[in-house]
Structure 1
Amino acid sequence: MDARDLLRSVRMAGSANGWRATRAAWRRQRTDARDLPRRGPERARVPGTALGAEPMPGGGVVRFARSRLQVRVAVGGAVFCGWDGAAPEPSYALAGAAPEADGRAVLEPDKDGWRVVSERVTVLVSRHGAVEFRTPGGLLLRRELPPRWWDATGPAGAPGARWVQRAQTPADARVFGLGGRAAGPRLPEGTYRLWNTDPGGSFRPGDDPLYITMPVQFVVADAGCHLVFHDSTWDGQVTLRDGEEGAGSGHDRPGGSEVRMEGGPLRYWVIPGNPARVLGTWTALTGRPALPPRWALGHHHSRWGFDTQSEVRRVAAAYREHRLPLSVIHLDIDHFDGHRIFTADPERFPDLPGLSRELAEQGVRLVSIVDPAVKAEPGLDLYESGRAGGMFVRDGRGREVRGVVWPGDSVFPDFTDPAVRSWWGGLYRERLDRGFAGFWHDMNEPVSFASFGEPTLPRSARHSLEGRGGDHREAHNVYALGMARAGWDGLRRLRPEQRPFLFSRSGWAGMQRYGGTWSGDVATAWEGLRASLALVLGLGLCGVPYSGPDVGGFTGTPEPELYLRWFQLGSYLPLFRTHSAIDGGRREPWQFGPEVLGHAREALETRMRLLPYLETLAHIARGTGAPYVRPLWWTAPADRALRECGDAFLLGDALLVAPVLEPGAVSKTVRLPRGAWYDTATGRLHRGPGQVLLDAPLGRVPVLARAGSVLPVAGADGSVELEVWPPLEGRSGSGVVFGGDPEGWGAPVMERFTTRWADGEVVVEREGGGEVGYAVRVRGSAS
């Protein structure tokens, strides 16, 4: 029993579900001991020497003595590599069929093996199985060493081959991504597990893994950027090693990574290019991000602990009384009847439709939590319906797998089965009929409480896996992805005229197709605040642009300064939500004194002013995959200092936000990318690259605007205005505005504007001619 198990056991000992969690942990161990296939003797294998090659559209197949490798360059520039016959499909990550091969790329002999030359990358395959990816100019991006397998030689049904693949990258390369990691955003050396995990209580930067793990590395180096995705859903780990320039005898020591998987195909994609091109190609492959409705870009208030619908009304009324804009209220598990999903407590929440209508008249939507676990209660309609249809995960003997979650003994839908997804999606009608406008999926790693061992289903639990059949070792990491798909598809059927709003605590590559995510149970501490930003930046580089933390932290009561600094950070992130545990104290701004309340009001007013810009960024993310929140190196990946900077970020192309992440700070040193930047508080112009020291009083955080930017903002009457930050003399600038249907599927309207100097004044023009059509306000001075 490790330290985390011990802590969990102590915490659960006195809980209502404590004895059930202990029983479930023992049951899981016994089930795995009985049903998990045993590994027989294993034989190590490497590809061996190349025997020949067969050209194919986009590349070809290289045959080795003990394996074969397919290389295929797809239209758009992504490169697929599959060993031992692994193909791009079937894949949970891909949004549809794999992209067509680029017929211009052909496998041809090279001096040391073979090569495939394409417009954006050259792939070199050595005679012993090493694969290099180089820029068109010949600079090394990545070198994959020959892989190694451990083939099982046991009886039929034994696990397939485990494998490891090591790679080398340039000495200056830095790695980002791997899903939601509290360390970072630049990931330090170390080992990261690929197994979606509820950490059990609040987490801090040293805790790993967390709720969303993805085998997605975003690598940035002087030679260029690339993304590598190893498409296996099995448990695994990635070990990162930083390079060192001029090491030892004066030669560089390359950086690198080692990917180890407990099973699944050895196949991977490499996508080269600048950051925008990489994310554009990645989300074209795995699905463009879902577009949230406009209201989801406002402020969300949530708390585990709303006792009654009368309390919800009181909180909403207090927001109005304190003149605090509010867009959404979330209801946690306490509104259910005995924690049973798709129910409502008839005494404490007797009229949810009426509450929903009342709030909607005030411009506030209701969002409901949805957990996957179904109470295993004979006579309960939901349980009986699922049991009759064979919807729940079973063990090797065909019996329902039981676990323990909030309602007690529970069963779990098998979201890897299309029929189960269709059944589950139809259940959201009950939620819609009660007036809920959106949904947050929780506990879907999936979690089954356990006083020791892994808090999830037995690894031997059987899953459909789209009819192929398999067990939880392969299905675990995509369980939440299947749940999100079930909810998304169900809402599309039930309410086809509206875009679904859905975000999920867990997920996998491609989850952006169905919505976003949040931090999960981040610790209430300054280090939790810093981890919040790392998570949002890292997830954005994995293709998931809509996310945010629990403002104030999940557990514990934040001190006023910490709460305010977290609130200020949240006001610039895509998902802006306060939330806390049932024993974590309240998170309403007026709970922290009049000074914090006043500053929180200013942050909320700034958020509302920026809503048109955030809506524009949402449409850009939908169309291109570019995240709202971007690292400072986004437009300058060759700037090594920016790669190490994790305490500030770009909000779109126009704004640089430098949140205060340390206690007691009233100023902040901010590293600027190349270009000219206006301090939005003072209008003063600063030039990058370099560092500036900016005031950061308790009431605000430093925010800079790029010279030449044209931002859509909300005016005093709510109408859209153009806020213009002048370009330098002799230069020009630009900006775009997206608008249109705020909640439905109508085609968006994009308008592009340019700005320049003429006769000593800043002139704004609509691209293509015609009237500007918006009020224009010029800020700052280029002098």
Structure 2
Amino acid sequence: MFFGQKIHPLNFDRAERFHLDGEAVKLSGPGMALRVGCETVMDGCCRLRFENGQVADSTQYSDAVRPAYRRGAVATPRLEADTARFVTAIGQIELQPTRLRVAMTEVMLETVADGIGCCGEALLLNFALTGVNGCYGLGERAGPLNKLGQTADFLNVDVVAVFRHTYARDDYDPTYVAIPLAILKVGERFLGVFFDNPHRVVMDVGKTRPGEFWYQAFGGVTDLYLLAGPTLREVTRRYAALTGRAPLPPLWALGYHQCRWGYRHEREFRALAEQFAAADVPVSALWYDIDYMDEYRLFSWDRLDFPDPAGLNRELKDAGIHAVTIVDPGVKREPGYPVYDSGREKAVFCQTASGREYVGKVWPGDTVFPDFSLPAARAWWAAYLADFLRDSAVDGVWLDMNDPATGYSRTEEMCFQHGQAPHERYHNQYAHFMALASRAACEQRDPDGRPFLLTRSACAGTQRYTAVWTGDNASNWDHLRMALPCSLNLSLSGIAFNGPDVGGFMDDTNAELLVRWHQACCLFPFFRNHSSRDSRFQEPWQFGPATLAAIRGAIRLRYRLLPYLYQCFFAHWRDGDPVIRPLLYHYDHPEYAHLGDQYLVGDALLVAPILHGEGQGPESIQRGVKYQERRIALPAGWWFDLNHGVWVQGGRVLHYAAAADELPLFARDGAVLPYYAGPLRNSFMHLSAIELHLFCHDQPAQFEYTLDDRETRRYEQGTWGLAQVTAEVREERTTVKIEESGDYPRETVRFTPVVYGHPEVRKLELTVNGRAEERKLRTEQREWLCRNLMVQA
């Protein structure tokens, strides 16, 4: 299989005429028959369906879009001379035999001449990039934030296996995740174009031909969703509503996770728990990689090395540490092995076209694969997995090798639906349906609980079931730098719960690199240290006291801000906003269109990590301490520097120097940061007492703090409340008002205001649900990274 290749546009057939075909338009010509229909599916979003006559089955098999939006209000076309016109809620769509034009308020999207074509089962849509100065999204991608001038192949692959000699570079394509969403920046406005097709597709955003955006689907039906802006936030929210927002995770899943391929014995897990405690580093989960299994048999434990896994996992949980196990889809092909025998009896494994079991070669040797496209196979999997989780006292599920990875066996021979459906129909959705079945297992085990699942591969809509990590990366500076734009674009593509392997999975890290990985990612949605058995150990204490102190500071910072991170997740579930965001999500500046080396957490925190090592970039020595230097784009307004405890005026580029234990971190004027000031002991966090850190320089502060139990799914039925927080500084007084509403008991959380940056303020007037009290402010210390800042509490 070759990557990077496309079908030359001159090899596509073009239509010569068109006519009405029911509620659609039929384009036809030699070698071509293409049916195009249009529907409005929700406010600000319409769908164009392209059915290629050369594709025998015109069913849309994608599960990307939520069921509520799979049917819409049909826009009946009108023929006017040489044009068919659809009138929709977002504007007019004009179709000619070789041209498509979408006219929206202040935004125009149209194909070039001869921009519509078919080549056998393949479809071409070739748009002009007129006025386009940015492209974002595209799911999980290597390379820069702005994808203008890039190309993307949407076919899920096992990256290290496919690019075994080049995986450590930062320009590989394709990746583990296929989400064909492009968010185009047209002038100062944004337009989303989501091509819903489960088959392999490619996009070329002006790389081969500058000024042209090629979409090529190699088969299947394409639904083109046009997502109106005008802002990036509106496009992102509409896409999240269309394909689904991530459910709320349990709070422990937002903590620090430790994993290594190579932990082989229960004594190593007990030792890890003791080492974290001795190092004074909180950890919320330890992970079991493939070594826990009995000869890699699914749903089994090696009872020599793990004689009592349930007892071990309960022991860890008593210490506040949750257990997560890897679960691959491959089932050892071994008669007498109950899982294999059961699956064969129920005919739930993938087959070849002739009806034989499809056999791959992965960890267990000869391996068969559940056909997750079958409801019966998903039910079979869910029952087995639910029993395994219950019997093993495991709290989380890690779905790996689900690209699907089949070893030296070609995947093309793997067919679905009892051998009747070709491989390409479900290849990109294999992990998606595995995640659907696995989430069902978790819900069977605990119907009211919140599952935590993580997957390597995914497609559009998979965020409804699981978090995503960005796969097997490398321990180098290029992959650290790549982690930011990769996770930011994945966040814009609907996968709010995502993150890389911190420290890098493959190859050897070093002390400086490991520190900077932890600092850069300590406020990412997912935060896991993960390494390969062939690499150097990279637990926080492996490089000595100074390195441990710096990493401890980054991890403790995350736990202090877990209440804020949780609020960001709640905001995503409510509205669709990502947890981490590029600056252009909220701020309009030409430089931000390309800025991928800093990010926002919610709308309150700006993180600008150090992404180069000693000798790789600007640095200085001050009073015997080495500092790494970088440029920081600070948007207009005032920002509080949480390293130095001072207000800094924005609207400019800072030249910032950070020592090894420093992470450039800024809170915006008007921000409220919920902060946990209690004791840190792994996942034990009693959030009945929360500090509200108020950053009020010129702007009053506003925040909506959501209240729920953080453990069950009752929030889905509306059992949650809202504490509306407003704060303002006037002369020597800070006024804070908190008003609670919603379906949750009032005053279950005690809020304590903490004021930043106004030493002349001496008094606090606090009003909670109409009851006012006045108190004197006193100066105290609060922990930020490796610093203790003086604040007023």
1:373-384 superposed matches below 5 A: 373-384=330-341
Counterpart of 2:151, as a letter, is: T
The 1:581/1:644 distance shift into structure 2, 3 A limit, reads same
How far apart in 2 are the matches of 1:753 and 1:393? 54
2:54 aligned with 1:77: no
Is the 1:518–1:548 contact (alpha carbons within 8 Å) kept by the matching residues of 2? Answer: yes
Deviation for aligned residue 1:83: 2.2
How far apart in 2 are the matches of 1:778 and 1:654? 15
Deviation for aligned residue 1:426: 1.0
Q: Which deviates the most, 579-588 or 746-755?
A: 746-755
The 1:431/1:758 distance shift into structure 2, 3 A limit, reads same
- Secondary structure of the 2:179 match is strand
Deviation for aligned residue 1:102: 5.5
Counterpart of 1:241, as a letter, is: G
1:121-520 superposed matches below 5 A: 121-136=90-105, 138-141=106-109, 143=111, 148-150=116-118, 152=120, 161-199=121-159, 200=161, 201=164, 202-241=167-206, 255-273=211-229, 274-428=231-385, 429-450=387-408, 457-464=410-417, 469-520=420-471
Give the corresponding residue for 2:533. 582
2:728 aligned with 1:736: no
User: 44, 58, 65: which one pairs with 1:94?
Assistant: 65
TM-score, normalised to structure 1, is 0.86
2:594 aligned with 1:644: yes
Deviation for aligned residue 1:260: 1.4
Is the 1:238–1:257 contact (alpha carbons within 8 Å) kept by the matching residues of 2? Answer: yes
Is the 1:139–1:223 contact (alpha carbons within 8 Å) kept by the matching residues of 2? Answer: no
Deviation for aligned residue 1:113: 3.2
Is the 1:678–1:684 contact (alpha carbons within 8 Å) kept by the matching residues of 2? Answer: yes
How far apart in 2 are the matches of 1:515 and 1:307? 26
Give the corresponding residue for 2:633. 671
The 1:328/1:630 distance shift into structure 2, 3 A limit, reads same
Q: Which ranges in structure 1 are unaligned for 5 or more consecutive residues?
A: 5-41, 55-59, 153-160, 244-252, 451-455
Give the corresponding residue for 1:714. 676
- Secondary structure of the 2:459 match is coil
Is the 1:283–1:625 contact (alpha carbons within 8 Å) kept by the matching residues of 2? Answer: yes
- Secondary structure of the 2:533 match is coil
Give the corresponding residue for 1:724. 693
How far apart in 1 are the matches of 2:109 and 2:586? 18
Identity over aligned residues, as a percent? 31
Give the corresponding residue for 1:656. 606
Counterpart of 1:378, as a letter, is: P
Deviation for aligned residue 1:635: 1.2
The 1:528/1:722 distance shift into structure 2, 3 A limit, reads same
2:63 aligned with 1:113: no
- Secondary structure of the 2:531 match is coil
The 1:375/1:661 distance shift into structure 2, 3 A limit, reads same
- Secondary structure of the 2:227 match is strand
How far apart in 2 are the matches of 1:192 and 1:471? 23
RMSD: 2.8
Q: Which ranges in structure 2 are unaligned for 5 or more consecutive residues?
A: 5-9, 620-627, 680-685, 761-793
How far apart in 1 are the matches of 2:706 and 2:169? 37
Counterpart of 2:83, as a letter, is: G
Counterpart of 1:463, as a letter, is: F
Is the 1:736–1:753 contact (alpha carbons within 8 Å) kept by the matching residues of 2? Answer: yes
1:728-767 superposed matches below 5 A: 728-729=697-698, 731-747=699-715, 748-767=720-739
Deviation for aligned residue 1:728: 4.0
Give 4+ residue runs of structure 1 displaced > 6 Å after superposition. Answer: 1-4, 85-88, 109-112, 768-772
Counterpart of 2:611, as a letter, is: L
The 1:435/1:52 distance shift into structure 2, 3 A limit, reads closer
1:762-773 superposed matches below 5 A: 762-767=734-739, 773=750
User: 585, 600, 609: which one pairs with 2:560?
Assistant: 609
2:645 aligned with 1:683: yes
How far apart in 2 are the matches of 1:439 and 1:260? 35
The 1:485/1:147 distance shift into structure 2, 3 A limit, reads farther
Q: Which deviates the most, 660-669 or 467-476?
A: 467-476
Deviation for aligned residue 1:63: 4.2
Q: Which has the higher strand share?
A: 2
Deviation for aligned residue 1:143: 4.3
Q: Deviations over 1:80-135 (max 9, x none)?
A: 001238989543111214266458x775677973545555x323314335223333
Give the corresponding residue for 1:535. 486
Q: Which deviates the most, 719-728 or 707-716?
A: 719-728
TM-score, normalised to structure 2, is 0.85
How far apart in 2 are the matches of 1:298 and 1:427? 28
How far apart in 2 are the matches of 1:43 and 1:172? 27
The 1:623/1:112 distance shift into structure 2, 3 A limit, reads farther
Q: Deviations over 1:48-92 (max 9, x none)?
A: 3344587xxxxx633444433212222221110012389895431
How far apart in 2 are the matches of 1:75 and 1:475? 27
2:753 aligned with 1:776: yes
- Secondary structure of the 1:705 match is strand
Is the 2:3–2:153 contact (alpha carbons within 8 Å) kept by the matching residues of 1? Answer: no
How far apart in 1 are the matches of 2:713 and 2:110? 41
- Secondary structure of the 1:183 match is coil
How far apart in 2 are the matches of 1:132 and 1:762? 55
Deviation for aligned residue 1:44: 5.0
Q: Deviations over 1:677-712 (max 9, x none)?
A: 221222333333321122321102101111001111
User: 38, 48, 51: which one pairs with 2:16?
Assistant: 48
How far apart in 1 are the matches of 2:343 and 2:528? 33
Higher relative contact order (CA 8 A, sep 6+): 1
The 1:508/1:407 distance shift into structure 2, 3 A limit, reads same
How far apart in 2 are the matches of 1:147 and 1:101? 26
- Secondary structure of the 2:301 match is coil
- Secondary structure of the 2:542 match is helix
Counterpart of 1:504, as a letter, is: T
